[in-house]
Structure 1
């Protein structure tokens, strides 16, 4: 009877979640509802599924209480609004009707078209218009008019009585009570960006738009029983039971096949490609690899994932062969040898003893997925290929749904209440949270926020998830068109998994860009071809491993952060397997649980490790008895407890919080204990092993994922070891990594490169290198416009070097303020004139309003020249200019800004000789990290460079940090105690102060 129900997916309008709506309906004994969210169908399939699930779950309870069990009949549609006004509601007769509605809405979203006043013909859809007094439209067979109970008095002698079979009961549902109506008003004010008191009535729902018993609704229409009959007949004719299929089995959602010959063709093609890849990876006869390949292919075929592998292979093949792109295949997909043979990943699962079951097994119900990383500037090319490769309506990006949980919502609530900006700023300042708690207005904001925080706020686009379907995706959702320009579904990855969709994660990272460009620069600058995929030789290279052991891999993907550098030094890491472990134990959960420290201790004293039993020693000797990886959990469950690998992975996943059924989880736990007892283990041993598994499983990290990162780290390390100049230029041109840009410029200088300021006759948009001369690019100069950045190298390439200032000005048509930026930075030093003389000269050319000419000069006109007196210039002034325009001084050490000549009593390299002593050091600030102690107090970790250019690290405990805080960039005087942890020295700070600097000479004058 309820034809127009809004959930919270009617963004900033509806107030109830799907589950709340269904629970409320069951409480009132309502048997049928039509979910019609505004201009979206993001909750439709969830609504259908939850009605079905709640019906099953409640049936047993109803029977126990003597009630007749029933299931709410779910019907779905879309409410179409344009110009903030209701146009009509579309209700799907069946699954085809949902596709028609979603396709209609998608067409308008994707093409940015306004919704028409009358929808097009849709064979499987009912259209319901709102009633109004002057309604005189002749309705088509599938068109109706919905009338509210309070509007019934307008029916007297109304033309619609001539079409009485077209009238329906209209009782919209938006809120649940007075409190949620007020919440609805807040939502509308936020949506309209206006004061709560100024939200127009026609922008809000009516206060009575909540569920009521069906009998009460019928009673309101007792004078017009035919309207109730019409409504019941319409709902009875709708059937969406096709959506009740079991989403845990392969369905028509995902693409059935890759080849034209269908499933059998896919099987043959995958086997052929995998066999060829096996020879490439392992050679002609490798019995262990052949045996594993057959095992994996059997499961892939059984689970109907051949097409998934082949589609992923097609993307990678296109990237490698057609585009010359590099990629990294990571995540649990790297556990697959088939993926390794297809070059989807570069991780050898046999070499690392990786279990395929971590990725896919016979009992897995949720679809697996590959995570494929491309360079940050190449990913879109692959995405475009995928969208062209597969038909319209069959490929789309995953969406995401952000909620109101962000504290920024406090600011939104404050704005709609009309609070002054200063007061709102105070309420959103974390430092004032304690004092705010006693403020009545703040308490009101928090009360509203508590209602809002779990509600959907806005739809967005997933980082890289793409769906490719066999049947049109519009059976399950309408599509949006975000600014990125790719069709996007209206729900997120969790709903996609619940429906049964496999996703393809096409991601990006800057580390791949570093590697790609470094290889290109080495070819250009050194004329050498580098096979960056020759990983097997990289990991055995002594020089590469020596740099890894030093813990100074600045610029190298995933291993350059202060925390990772410290860990590498503590482990004295000099091999691939240890790096894989380090990539896992650095994760926050593992580190904070104390397992990182335990691993380091055991790593340095393996002879002292006491294993619980021989099985644990055999399976965990590589990690010294510590379960470092998710795969370790699987191994212990399999080899110790005797569970098969499929059940072992299900249990691993359940302990990580991804299992929804407590009953099923308890059955698995019981199975673990029962199976372990059959292996002959004592009860005490089983209990202790289970304690270790359960305490770790939630923190664990996939070994395959760590191994993928470690491969890329080794590629970066190899390039930095043998071609450091080109590598650091590539890092700079791909926007660096963990640190600020100046750190990488400094690293480039340390390689022996002569780094020059930008020059109009030598620089390009980005940094370039010729021999040992590296010129900074125009990108990165503060205030320089993009068109100027592009025109300078383009014009120079077309017509030769610039001859003098006048030539440069005329050829580039550069504005005065842009020319001033370049001159101040020394980019026109090729003229032989100092910066101040050039600034004088440029005003002679551009210091008046220029008339634009659209033709070349007939005669070359020279400007008069004037003899200027010598103008004072200084290195300090130029360094300040570089600091302003680049963010760092290139040719002037930060320490030279200081008023004091003191550079510290101790340098970073000398710290081992001062263990336990209190020392004074001077450090140039690099970065800081804030953490919270177990008592929720803040403490900091700092990273600095000394006057020799060596890194050192500091620890700032809560008792010293408030008294001696960080104050941004600059040099600091540090008094602290030298401490050591597993061979890594750092400073426990006692006192800490930012040092004064010399004033800019320009400011003095």
Structure 2
């Protein structure tokens, strides 16, 4: 009988010269859900990063379900903490069976495939993979047949925890050195037998092992919140959701030493190989967000002109029309702003917004810029704003200065009745493959938190309704204030009220679902799906990117804010 390479008497696998102690200290968690796995993860990205820092973990991956919704926030938090960020996703693979019609049961359908980005090419591939899984399917029900991964498998690492018969397919698609059997043990009754089946499968197909903890929260105390989120996701109470809940609080972010202890009930070779490969994979994943080269769509300028020279000429023509005479103060201010715009590389940004206003005027659509853009004489000369910053002594540096790394913000109000014409103009000019609506992440506020947590805890509907309607009368200071707002005496405050207080407080500001931004459009110089995953919006004919306004600004991408103002519609009709 052949001896398994993981049996107690087998020779241990190659560990790149790492001792057991160094493998443990170098461990990086590669399977981690933040609360951007909507109604599933129970910790913010920065909470997971803080926990990893406390554990002295050198690297951490975020692998939210079918998306990059929290990737930018996680990446920034990890870099600030001195932790190497790894970007990935847990992708739903179509298993060939009929998917459920209702999203309530969808999270238990299909297979799961964990994909990690190695570099920029891997990031581009995974953006396309996620988009392919999202776009053909109903909102919240992304899935992709495994065979469609073949053309986009480069520079990705796959972790497989439930491959069924697909392991050879994955090895062929990604390459044998990029497919790892994922082991995690949460001390549940079936974990050891499941892992033994995976070990046997890995033995038959020569697949390497990796250990993760399939994390859903940073610390064990968030286990109860994870349960509540699960009940909310299934639209039921905790009592009725028992079959969907994890049996314990072991899905938290653990150190390599803790996982070595967990896996001590297997052979040492299993722990050695699994922990060593986690560190090795982390070392291979070196992607960094650097998308500035894709920020501009290539605004068309006349032959012989550059974006800056064309902007310069437009401003020089306009300044002679608006100022009589052009004083030295005006000339100096204009030159100063143009110099800053040229140095920061935002000439195209101003031209894009100038073009929007030019189109609106040509169609008789009322529109005007507002906010800090009014501090710019260039914006004034281009007709983006109507406020003279010289006359009103406005400071340009409030809007743009040389040290800025984010894109300046120009909000333009159009009449509500005609804004769609401007949006369609952007689609037509730059093409739908380079244009998409920015997402808005809807988060829990006081009323929604109390309604959904209260329902999950089994509170009566009338009590929940009364609490939610009186939310402005109480603040999450103590369970007594909540009980009193519902008409109960303080003496009647019991454990359920304490739980409601604790959980409603914890869930505040948690992402709940994705919606579309009221007017933000992302325009890129490369195909949009190479920059960010896209998915269907609820509005017909719209697609929404998985980055929100803050993400786009953080990455220095170009976002146009075209907002609807009803008063301008009234003006247009007058």
- What residue ranges of structure 2 are gaps of 5+ in the alignment? 1-27, 94-105, 186-190, 474-483
Q: Residue 28 of structure 1 aligns with which residue?
A: 55
Among candidates 214, 234, 241, match of residue 199 of structure 1: 241
Q: Which runs of 5+ in 1 are unaligned?
A: 56-71, 519-1005
The answer (yes or no) to whether the contact 1:133–1:154 under 8 Å persists in 2 is no
On the 8 A contact 1:376/1:508 being kept in 2, the answer is yes
Q: Which digits, 9 at most, give the CA deviation of each residue in 1:771-795, with x for residues without a partner? A: xxxxxxxxxxxxxxxxxxxxxxxxx
Which residue number corresponds to residue 725 of structure 1? none
More deviation in 190-199 or 406-415? 406-415
Q: 1:472 to 1:132 in 2, by over 3 A?
A: closer
Query: Is 2:158 aligned against 1:127?
Result: yes
Q: CA shift at 1:397, angstroms?
A: 2.4
Aligned-residue CA RMSD (Å): 2.9
SS in 1 for 2:143: coil
Hey, what's the Cα distance between the residues in 2 that align with 1:232 and 1:362? 40
Contact 1:165 1:226 in 2 (8 A): no
Q: Distance in 1 between matches of 2:114 and 2:546?
A: 18
**Structure 1: distance between partners of 2:453 and 2:554:** 33
Q: Does 1:50 align with 2:77?
A: yes
Report deviation, 1:193: 0.8
Q: How far apart are residue 37 of structure 1 and its match?
A: 0.6
CA deviation after TM superposition for structure 1 residue 492, in Å = 2.8
Q: How far 1:4 sits from its partner (Å)?
A: 1.0
- Count of matched residue positions in the alignment of Structure 1 and Structure 2: 495
How far apart are 1:392 and its partner, in Å?
4.5
Partner of residue 234 from structure 1, selected from 270, 275, 281: 281
Distance change in 2, residues 1:172/1:437 (3 Å) = farther
CA separation in 1, counterparts of 2:218 and 2:304?
50
What does residue range 127-276 of structure 1 map to in structure 2 within 5 Å? Answer: 127-131=158-162, 137-138=168-169, 139-140=171-172, 141=175, 142-149=178-185, 150-151=191-192, 154-155=196-197, 158-199=200-241, 201-202=243-244, 207-218=249-260, 220=263, 222-224=268-270, 225-240=272-287, 242-243=288-289, 251-255=292-296, 257-259=298-300, 265-276=306-317
Deviation at 1:450, TM superposition (A): 1.2
* Alpha-carbon distance in structure 2 between the residues aligned to 1:157 and 1:228: 15
- In the alignment, the residues of structure 1 paired with residue 179 and residue 247 of structure 2 have an alpha-carbon distance, to the nearest angstrom, of 24
Mapped partners of 1:403, 1:26: distance in 2: 26
Change (3 A) 1:284 1:276: farther
Which residue of the partner structure matches residue 12 of structure 2? none
Aligned pairs (5 A) from 1:618-629: none
Q: CA deviation at 1:359?
A: 2.1
Q: Distance in 2 between matches of 1:30 and 1:503?
A: 35
For the residues of structure 2 that align with 1:419 and 1:488, how far apart are their CA atoms? 36
Matched with 2:525 is 470
| Structure 1 residues 452 and 156: CA distance shift in structure 2, 3 A | closer
Sort the Cα spacing of 1:364 and 1:101 in 2 relative to 1 into closer, same or farther, 3 A: closer
Contact 1:90 1:127 (8 Å CA) reproduced: yes
User: Given the superposition, is the C-alpha separation of residues 181 and 231 from structure 1 closer, same or farther in structure 2, using an over 3 Å criterion?
Assistant: same
The answer to whether the aligner puts 1:80 opposite 2:80 as a matched pair is: no
Mapping 1:909-948, distance limit 5 Å: none
Q: Using the alignment, how far apart are the partners of 1:183 and 1:350 within structure 2?
A: 54
* 2-structure distance, mates of 1:391, 1:457: 31
User: 2:376 touches 2:399 (CA, 8 Å); kept in 1?
Assistant: yes
Which of 545, 548, 567 in structure 2 is aligned with 1:492?
548
Q: Indicate how the Cα distance of structure 1 residues 218 and 264 shifts in structure 2: closer, same or farther if over 3 A, else same.
A: farther
User: Within 5 Å, which residues of 2 pair with 1:357-506?
Assistant: 357-392=397-432, 394-430=434-470, 433=485, 435-436=487-488, 438=490, 439-440=493-494, 441-474=496-529, 477-484=532-539, 485-506=541-562
Matching of residue 115 in structure 1 with residue 143 in structure 2: yes
What SS class does the counterpart of residue 193 from structure 1 fall into? coil
The 3-state SS of whatever aligns with 1:24 is helix
Q: CA deviation at 1:285?
A: 5.5
Equivalent-residue separation in structure 1 for 2:198 and 2:557 (angstroms): 52
1:208 is displaced (CA, Å) by 1.8
Q: What's the CA shift string for 1:302-354, capped at 9, x where partnerless?
A: 22111111010111111222x22121222121222222222112222333333
Following superposition, the deviation at residue 197 of structure 1 comes to 1.4
Task: From the superposition, tell whether residues 369 and 470 of structure 1 become closer, same or farther in structure 2 (CA, over 3 Å).
Answer: same
Q: CA 1:314–1:230 in structure 2 vs 1: closer, same or farther (change >3 Å)? A: same
The residue number in structure 2 matching 1:308 is 349
TM-score, normalised to structure 1, is 0.46
Corresponding residue to 1:354 among 394, 397, 405: 394
d(CA) in 2 for partners of 1:205 and 1:101?
32
Q: How far apart in 2 are the matches of 1:298 and 1:195?
A: 61
What's the counterpart of residue 280 of structure 1? 321
* Partner Cα separation in structure 2 for residue 515 and residue 500 of structure 1: 35
Larger radius of gyration: 1
Shift of 1:206: 6.3
Q: 1:336–1:359: 8 Å Cα contact kept in structure 2?
A: yes
1:14 counterpart residue number: 41
SS of equivalent residue, structure 1 residue 506? strand
TM-superposition CA deviations, 1:747-799 (whole Å, max 9, x none): xxxxxxxxxxxxxxxxxxxxxxxxxxxxxxxxxxxxxxxxxxxxxxxxxxxxx
Distance 1:198 1:132 in 2: 30
